[in-house]
Amino acid sequence: MSFLRIHAQPGRTAIWTLSWSLFAVGLILYFYAAQQRHRENPDDRVMPTIAQMVRGFSDAALKPAAEEEVQAASGSSLLARFRTSMLWTDTLASGRRFLISVALLFPAVLLGLHMAMFPVIGAFFLRFILFFDKIVALSLLPILFIAFGIDELSKIMLIVIGVTPTIILDTFNLTKSVPREQIVKGFTLGASDFSITYRIVFKQIWPRVLNSIRLNLKAVMLFLFAGEMIASTDGLAYRIALLRRHMGMDTIIPYVLWVALLLFLVDFAMNKLNHKLHPWFQER
């Protein structure tokens, strides 16, 4: 049992095997259960086989969402068919909302930084944000639809309201954790308030703030899905909700895996960028 000890150092092959073992077990169990269900009921739609999911994903990636466009696109090239497919149009719609919402989180980082560094700003905002953070964002969805309509703005505002307070408070706490001695030392060397804020404190907390945003990507997508499922005419969540009415599990499951893959790639890219910009940073 030495391999379970704290100081155990598994080799590269062991790490690769262990990291993929749960994926393999999950796939084996799923396809075994799907095969059993289809053996009992060939028309079962709850657990599609791999052939059905491949066919469903292929249709989503190569066929337009609108029925009247199917005939027009049938003679086009493969790339042209993909660019007019419902998978691509849904991904573009959700991706646009996702990127705008993530971009709007960065001003929240600056607010949290200034709240921690400047007592007057902290006294003005902190109590309100602590209270606002306890409001369940989804409970505001009807209010947002009434105030902003059912277009893009209400969905983006839902994401911002749901995630921004967490980012602000996390940045605030990370800033407060910077040793006070470093700030005093900066003043003794003649640095100004803003020099200390941005050249000493911000540079130290920025890698951890990026990690905090990475950890909140799933929350961003959760609020995006909530908005798209309730009021939208395109987007990944809209398509999943539409397919649910027809029990289209052969397309729903690939869509869910597609969303997970996209989030994984965004998280992976942010992690690599973080370590590229800050090679001294060791946290993952």
Q: What type of residue sits at position 2? A: S
What mean pLDDT is predicted for residues 217-237? 88
- Architecture label for domain 83-277: Orthogonal Bundle (1.10)
Q: Where are the domains of the chain?
A: 10-47, 83-277
Please state the separation of Cα 245 from the chain's center in Å.
Answer: 25
pLDDT in tens, 104-119: 999 999 999 999 999 9
pLDDT in tens, 107-162: 999 999 999 999 999 999 999 999 999 988 888 888 888 888 877 888 888 988 99
Question: Which of 56-70, 117-131, 179-193 shows the lowest per-residue confidence on average (mean pLDDT)?
Answer: 56-70
Q: What is the DSSP string of 40-97?
A: H-TT--SS--HHHHHHHHHHHHHS-SSGGGHHHHTTS-HHHHHHTSHHHHHHHHHHHH
CA distances from 251 to 41, 47, 73, 232, 273 (A): 19, 11, 20, 19, 33
The pLDDT assigned to 110 comes to 95
Integer Cα distance of 35 and 247 in angstroms: 18
**pTM for the full predicted model:** 0.85
The pLDDT assigned to 57 comes to 87
Please tell me whether residue 194 adopts helix, strand or coil conformation.
helix
Handedness of CA 94, 99, 100, 104 (dihedral sign): positive
Q: Of 105, 255, 112, 101, whose CA–CA distance to 171 is shortest?
A: 112
